[in-house]
């Protein structure tokens, strides 16, 4: 389908530290209609410091407030020794599998697995050394913009292009978990594409599928949504993740939205052409005798549309008909001299 966007199921921490659950999540994402499954490749030590100083304590009004960064990431990370099998399972399921690296060692590791796409998370958009290293692998680069200024985004895009990589997708993202729908600001999707001359899409943390549906009407080529088999299993991201049933419905809704967009065309389809039979046209509304004057009472614009187009009514009013006419006859220009 033309204009079909990529729908990505973000596993994140929704495996709860169980490889079997991670594998089941990939299979569930396939059943739900996802095009891709996304992982995150880091360890607590590659993303932060094992430090309980106040700077490292989360206090941003999030669902993780009170936790220290190291403890959160130690709980949430996907063990690197799982990756090869998860990539393999995804391939068997017919899903694209790719990941977000958070340092150069993760990039090197993912390269060994032939990772096909690299995702830069919102909070890493200012890490230009990482972006440059990722872009140098000449794979598609997807960048979330959740906490970015316009200058941050421009620098990230320029960094990719500086190494010759122009395969860039910017994702509108609201870095709240969950994100209020009134802060989604989806009009940015089109603006990101036009301003930075890239593809654009949505990394969505709102509840439900309204934002993804609207996103495709804004030209999104990629939509990412956190995915979990069942929110009852809990975990750091469970509260704002879609379950299989919800993701399945979102896929259906998004595909219907895409189909409804269509294309700009003023050409009539066969069905539209047939429907024109119900347009208005000029008909004889009363029996008329030869020589009788045409008035708005005896010649009217009515349905169906087999008669003369209504635009001719002013032209014929006040003229005489040149023959007897029966009520219900299609009015033609031939009836006046």
Residue with tokens 């090197």: 108
> Per this entry, what is the length of the chain?
337
**What pLDDT digit, counting tens, does each position of 8-28 carry?**
999 989 999 999 999 999 999
**What pLDDT digit, counting tens, does each position of 254-301 carry?**
999 999 998 899 999 899 999 999 999 999 999 999 999 999 999 999
Alpha-carbon dihedral 49, 54, 55, 57, rounded to 10 degrees? 70
Q: Is the pLDDT of residue 37 over 50?
A: yes
**What pLDDT digit, counting tens, does each position of 114-124 carry?**
999 999 999 99
**What pLDDT digit, counting tens, does each position of 239-253 carry?**
889 999 999 999 999
Residue with tokens 């410091």: 49
Q: What is the mean pLDDT of residues 318-331?
A: 97
- 3-state secondary structure at position 147: coil
Q: Which two tokens stand for residue 120?
A: 């830069």
Residue by residue, DSSP assigns 91-119 as HHHT-EEEEEE-SHHHHHHHHHTT---EE
- What pLDDT is recorded for position 278? 94
> Where does residue 250 fall: left (phi above 0), alpha (psi -120 to 50 degrees), or beta otherwise?
alpha
- What pLDDT is recorded for position 64? 77
CB 313 within 8 A of CB 282: yes
- Residue ranges of domains in the chain, CATH in brackets: 6-42+77-261 (3.20.20.70), 270-335 (3.90.1210.10)
- What pLDDT is recorded for position 280? 96
Mean of the per-residue pLDDT values of the chain: 94
- 3-state secondary structure at position 116: coil
* Number of CB atoms found within 10 A of residue 150's CB: 11
Q: Is the dihedral of CA 46, 47, 51, 52 positive or negative?
A: negative
Q: What is the mean pLDDT of residues 321-328?
A: 97
- 3-state secondary structure at position 162: helix
pLDDT band at 2 (very low <50, low <70, confident <90, very high): low
Q: Is the pLDDT of residue 176 over 80?
A: no
- What pLDDT is recorded for position 262? 86
**What pLDDT digit, counting tens, does each position of 58-111 carry?**
887 777 788 899 998 888 899 999 999 999 999 999 999 999 999 999 999 999
Q: Which two tokens stand for residue 71?
A: 């403890």
Provide CB contacts within 8 A for 244, sequence distance 6+: 28, 29, 31, 32, 227, 229
- What phi and psi, each to the nearest 5 degrees, are found at residue 307? -90, -160
What predicted TM-score, i.e. pTM, was given to this entire model? Answer: 0.86
- What pLDDT is recorded for position 266? 93
- What phi and psi, each to the nearest 5 degrees, are found at residue 280? -85, 150
**What pLDDT digit, counting tens, does each position of 146-167 carry?**
889 999 999 999 999 999 999 9
Q: Is the pLDDT of residue 1 over 60?
A: no
CB 91 within 8 A of CB 97: yes
Classify residue 318 as exposed, middle or buried by CB count within 10 Å of its CB (0-12, 13-18, 19+). Answer: exposed
Task: Looking at 94-234, list the stretches that DSSP marks H as alpha helix, in order from N- to C-terminal side.
Answer: 104-112, 128-135, 150-162, 188-196, 210-217
- How far is 157 from 223, CA to CA, in rounded Å? 19
- What pLDDT is recorded for position 235? 80
**What pLDDT digit, counting tens, does each position of 177-203 carry?**
788 899 899 999 999 999 999 999 999
């Amino acid at each position: 389908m033309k204009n079909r966007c990529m729908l990505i199921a973000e596993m994140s921490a929704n495996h709860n530290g169980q490889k079997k659950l991670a594998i089941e999540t990939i299979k569930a994402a396939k059943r739900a209609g996802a095009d891709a499954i996304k992982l995150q490749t880091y360890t607590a030590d590659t993303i932060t410091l094992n430090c309980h100083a106040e700077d490292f304590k989360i206090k941003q009004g999030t669902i993780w407030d009170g936790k220290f960064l190291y403890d959160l990431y130690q709980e949430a990370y996907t063990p690197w020794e799982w990756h090869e099998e998860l990539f393999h399972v995804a391939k068997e399921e017919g899903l694209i599998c790719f990941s977000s690296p958070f340092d150069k060692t993760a990039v090197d590791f993912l390269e060994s697995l032939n990772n096909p796409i690299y995702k830069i998370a919102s909070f890493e958009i200012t890490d230009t050394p990482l972006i440059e290293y990722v872009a140098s692998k000449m794979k598609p680069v997807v960048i979330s913009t959740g906490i970015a200024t316009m200058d941050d985004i421009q620098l990230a895009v320029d960094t990719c292009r500086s190494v010759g990589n122009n395969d860039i997708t910017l994702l509108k993202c609201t870095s709240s978990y969950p994100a209020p729908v009134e802060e989604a600001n989806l009009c940015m999707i089109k603006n990101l594409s036009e301003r930075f001359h890239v593809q654009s899409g949505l990394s969505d943390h709102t509840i439900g599928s309204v934002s993804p549906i609207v996103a495709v009407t804004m030209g999104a080529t990629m939509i990412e949504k956190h995915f979990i088999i069942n929110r009852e299993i809990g975990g750091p991201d469970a509260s704002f993740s879609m379950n299989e049933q919800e993701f399945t419905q979102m896929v259906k809704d998004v595909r219907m939205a895409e189909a409804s967009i269509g294309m700009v065309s003023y050409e009539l389809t066969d069905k539209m052409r047939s429907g024109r039979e119900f347009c208005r046209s000029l008909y004889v509304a009363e029996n008329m005798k030869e020589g009788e004057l045409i008035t708005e009472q005896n010649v009217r614009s009515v349905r169906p549309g087999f008669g003369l187009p209504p635009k001719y009514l002013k032209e014929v009013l006040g003229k005489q008909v040149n023959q007897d006419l029966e009520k219900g006859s299609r009015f033609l220009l031939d009836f006046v001299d």
